[in-house]
Amino acid sequence: MEASSLPAALELVSGGGAGLSPEKRAVLGSSLLLLQRDYRFERVWFWGCIQGVCGAYYIAEGLGPDRAAPRSRLYSLNCVEWSLLPPVTEEMVTQAGWLKGRFQGDPSFEYEYTERNAEDAERLFEDGKEPIIKEEARLVATIEQIDRAVGIIPRGAFVKTPLGSVSENRNFEGLSLTEAKRLSSYFHFTEPVNLKNKTLLEKADLDPSTDFLDSLEHDIPQGSWTVQLEKGGAVVVLRSLLWLGLTFYHVPMTKQYGYVYFGNGEKNLDLPFML
């Protein structure tokens, strides 16, 4: 969610019980603006908070002119001092997938792999040393996993130019209430997968400038999203059951939307058995 509208946005997603104290909100409101100035980001989003055993990571993302380009991610332990996270790689994401259990809250904490298959073991033990991964690398990999799986935007909020860059749609005035209650009105803000498999006939009715992402209606497993009306029906709230703690909000007929994550950074692997 936008750093400039953070207090109001947090109020709109507070129905699930998660949020920040008034002190944390006040500190974040100031430090995120300073962060945008110091790093010369065009926009700064407050991504959320991952709670560890001994502390919490507060996450922010810095964006450039192309909104679809890789984002700069930063974390803070006190909402005042921010540290830049390393760029994510596929190897980081793979390694983080092997780790189980809670985050510790210490970026320098080192994990040792306890479970791996023969192929992974052969590749990782080539140097004869026990492979380790720092919690900082696990943190950025987990953020990437959550963004890919449940980072969403309303349909029409962004447009793709003929040159391939993505920017905010200045003509976007929000979804109607009827549209806002449908999963097909929301897109994953990441590289599309299902869209590439559509036939030419299926793509005929799509607008290439706005329908360039995958919609939520075909997410697997079915039922991994809940759609609710809150604040007297004035706000549409989507919550992910796959990554518990991810909340998206949109005020119909306005440009107000965003998502935030408050959780422990663990995927809900039991979801197929809960549906």
Q: Quick: pLDDT tens for 142-157.
A: 999 999 999 999 998 9
Query: Phi and psi of 230, rounded to 5°?
Result: -130, 175
- Does this model's pTM top 0.85? My answer is yes
Q: Specify the pLDDT at position 83.
A: 94
Q: Is the pLDDT of residue 119 over 80?
A: no
Q: What is the mean pLDDT of residues 12-21?
A: 80
Q: Which residues pair with 72 in a beta bridge?
A: 62
- Per-residue burial over 248-262, b if 16 or more Cβ lie within 10 Å, else e, is bbbbbeeebbbbbbb
Task: Tell me the CA distances in angstroms from 269 to 49, 188, 242, one per residue in order.
Answer: 20, 20, 7
Mean residue pLDDT of the chain comes to 86
Q: Specify the pLDDT at position 69.
A: 84
Q: Is the pLDDT of residue 127 over 60?
A: no
Residue that wins the pLDDT comparison between 15 and 106: 106
Provide the angle, in degrees to the nearest 10, between the axes of the packed helices 135-150 and 90-98: 100
Q: Is the pLDDT of residue 48 over 80?
A: yes
Out of 47-61, 65-79, 101-115, which region has the weakest mean confidence (pLDDT)? Answer: 101-115
For the chain, the straight-line distance linking the first and the last C-alpha, in angstroms and rounded, comes to 29
Residue that wins the pLDDT comparison between 7 and 87: 87
pLDDT tens for 194-243 read 766 666 666 666 777 777 888 898 888 888 999 999 888 899 999 999 99
Q: Specify the pLDDT at position 167.
A: 87
Q: Is the pLDDT of residue 114 over 80?
A: no
Residue 35 near residue 47, CB atoms below 8 Å: no
